Amino acid sequence: MDAPILAVDELCVAYGKVEALHHVSLTVRAGEIVTVIGPNGAGKTTLLSAIMGVLPRSSGSVAFLGVEQGDVEVERMVALGMTLVPEKRELFGDMSVEDNLLLGAFMRRRLGHRDEQQTMAEVFGIFPRLKERRGQRAGTLSGGERQMLAVGRALMAKPRLLMLDEPSLGLAPLIVREIFHVIGNLRKTGVAILLVEQNARAALRIADVGYVLETGEVAMSGSSEELEGNPRIVESYLGLGGKR
């Protein structure tokens, strides 16, 4: 079997003396959608930030594309093909949709690739709404459109691993469904996806593998069918009428 795209082993992260992640291990393979679910404050965002190199790690290792990444910088991870869509989107509000997308390809341009117009056409194919709004300032977009732009901007980097932090946050149910539909379809493009979500039902529906993170530790993991059938998961995260 190929080396996994991402292998996190016994990762610990601390904020000062408070440890936010304890010995977390997880694996993402090519073409796979892996979701990390769990309650607020479980350390999901911390996990993504530590993988991306935004936060320093206290111990444990992260291997990306089969190579262990020691003391990393964010730019280096981006150059290697890792992209994070953060919880707050972090768009460039005063710039146009098109410029936001273009900057998504910043690292590819620096590495000498000149295919951003073609990639942009692909992103417009996935999110036709962005094409209509291409000249508009990102700050004037609706919540759903902003999320589309955040995902589209990340795709402009042509990542090997796309990490999404709470893409459903603050969005209307219909939009959530649309976004998750798109995420599910991205699998076909071959990108591996690590999806962090509080909306466990939507996340498990499109994911292959799920991890449950509780107070900084992996409490449970398995295929998404297993997790969906697990009575504890049903009770804590899916609520009544878990099967729909």
Query: Where do contacts with another protein occur on this chain (CB under 8 A)?
Result: 52, 54, 70-76, 78-79, 83-84, 86, 88-95, 99, 102-104, 106-107, 109-110, 153, 157
Shorter beta-carbon distance to another protein: residue 86 or 216: 86
For the CB of residue 2, give the shortest distance to another protein in the complex, in Å: 24
Cβ neighbours, 10 Å, residue 111: 10
Distance CA 165, CA 57 (A): 19
- Please, what sign has the CA dihedral across residues 96, 98, 99, 105? positive
Which lies closer to another protein via its Cβ, residue 110 or residue 181? 110
**Residue 175 CB, nearest approach to another protein (Å):** 21
Asked if 139 and 18 touch (Cβ cutoff 8 Å), the reply is no
Indicate the residue among 96 and 198 with the shorter CB distance to another protein.
96
Segment holding 143, helix H or strand E: helix 143-155
Closest distance between another protein and the C-beta of residue 3, in Å?
Answer: 19
Looking up tokens 């710039």 gives: 95
Nearest approach, Cβ of 110 to another protein (angstroms)?
A: 7
Nearer to another protein, 153 or 160 (CB): 153
3-state DSSP call for residue 206? helix
